[in-house]
A and B are shown apart, each in its own frame.
Chain A
């Protein structure tokens, strides 16, 4: 196989897992709460800043900061649910209202980050030894390998939670039949708050990973990640956790292998063409039925 193509495939899988993580957290939030979290990308960038300031002010390595950022973001999400999301349920059209409200949150968060963190791009300073591994002719930076390992562990833990524990099954049951969950005595409100907390916690961790493997981040790039997240979940199937993982990897592979042969702009365009193709052939996404099961 062409060496460059092989390199593109490896990059695609690694970036695809990051995209999968973005889609996974977006999908869990949408599936359970029917909230279109348009501010997801901004929360991701906020997570990156969390790692940056944890390192600068507390001297914490990004790897040690990761669980702390998860907990802080999960607590923020839990609180935000009661302040903001819960009230949306009382509107005439909660899904559209959520899209508009979260779009507002995205703008506000972006502006706040600009005010407090300034417009300059930031990057984490860390050293990993060795800095990269060679697999034949393929070069894989150690940071990307570590990120891949972390994402695999997170996805495995999340899959275990969703498919093997009763609270995880209750969460999936909400996605399958929201009304019926109340019949069995599940506190829908509390479960929804926990889910929003879980989604933002994962966004925070994604932010640390983004800061680890990309050269820099700034308050302006949140919407890029939101957009990727939406492409991934439409590809995989709205509300479907497994679909998000598959959608993320497919999108990552398409984008990175296209980069081998074309420019970055064309690669992005190909990602969108893939999305349009899937919508035309299978409007519910690769794993979707009417919503997630």
Chain B
């Protein structure tokens, strides 16, 4: 996996043209790193990922992938550039089979049959639970398996950047643990990971860098070590999240 730096600068996003939900926000994800985005409810964490992926269009600011300005690109174009997004809410195509869900994940290179076959084989190797039921309807899978399918579908394009929005929400603890381990492993293999998570403890444990958002603005940022050693930052996280980040 070969990651690319993804960053946003001075981003302003508004719903219905007058409700500003992101105000002058700057976030950067780096290759080989897990970048955690945390903050209280309504901070704008998920909005950051949706804006990165092009589902929301910023009023101000810029988004760059590597050296390329992708601010004006649409979501499907960003997918073609190698940005994968696993949204918080279920995104499997319920009545399509596991294999068809994965085949749709290969849409950007659908005409390259050999690459499609390789990609599917590769994710089946990584997710044996999916390989066991390739023809099962996605809706027949458990919540955890559906989440694996969503992640597997994101991985078939061999993404440069993976945006994960609350990947363990409503998922059993055992599966959650596997998802965090996989997230860390993907970063270690070179991918750029941006992770939004309510579970600050788990997020902080695997993240290399953390951003804290509050009411649609950057509140604090730093490496995991910064958060562990800076009393002010530790206190901020402790106060909001009821959790102390240790070195």
Question: A residues near B, CB below 8 A?
Answer: 166, 169-170, 172-173, 176-177, 179-189, 293
Contacts and interface: CB of A to CB of B under 8 A. Distances in A.
B107 A176 contact: no
B94 A176 contact: yes
Contacts, number: 69
A285 B150 CA distance: 30
Contacts of A166: 103-104, 107, 110
Given A166-B107, A184-B105, A179 B87 contact: yes
Interface string B56-91: 000000000000000000111001100011110011
B103 A182 contact: no
A184 B96 contact: no
Contacts of A173: 93, 96, 104
A173 B96 CA distance: 8
Nearest to B110: A166
Given A179-B87, A179-B91, A172 B96 contact: yes
A184 B95 contact: no
A179 B95 contact: no
A162 to B, nearest CB: 11
B93 A186 contact: no
User: Quick one: which of B91, B93, B154 has the most chain A CB within 10 A?
Assistant: B93
B100 interface: yes
Contacts of B90: 177
B182 interface: no
A188 B107 CA distance: 12
A182 B75 contact: yes
A185 B95 contact: no
A287 to B, nearest CB: 12
A187 B154 CA distance: 17
Given A169-B103, A170-B104, A180-B93, 13 more contacts: A166-B110, A169-B93, A169-B100, A177-B93, A179-B55, A181-B104, A183-B84, A183-B86, A184-B107, A185-B157, A186-B76, A187-B76, A189-B74
12 contacts: A169-B100, A172-B93, A173-B93, A173-B104, A176-B96, A177-B90, A179-B87, A182-B55, A182-B74, A183-B53, A184-B79, A184-B105
User: Quick one: which of A169, A180, A187 has the most chain B CB within 10 A?
Assistant: A180
Contacts of B75: 182-183
Contact of A169 (B76, B79, B94, B96): B96
B244 to A, nearest CB: 35
Nearest to B84: A183
Contacts of B222: none
A179 B157 CA distance: 18
Contact of B95 (A170, A181, A186, A293): A293
**Interface range for B:** 20 to 34
A183 B94 contact: no
Interface in B5-19: none
B108 interface: yes
Nearest to B111: A166
Contact of B153 (A169, A176, A184, A186): A184
A187 B80 CA distance: 10
A169 B95 CA distance: 10
Interface in B150-194: 153-154, 157
Contacts of A181: 104
A92 to B, nearest CB: 9
A185 B95 CA distance: 19
A62 to B, nearest CB: 37
Contact of B87 (A172, A183, A188): A183
B208 to A, nearest CB: 25
A166 B107 CA distance: 8
Contacts of B104: 166, 169-170, 173, 181, 184, 186
Given A166-B104, A185-B80, A177 B95 contact: no
Contact of A176 (B53, B54, B95, B105): B95
A177 B96 CA distance: 11
Contact of A170 (B54, B107, B154): B107
Contact of B79 (A176, A179, A182): A182
A186 B96 contact: no
Contacts of A176: 93-96
B95 A172 contact: yes
Contacts of B153: 184
Contacts of B55: 179, 182
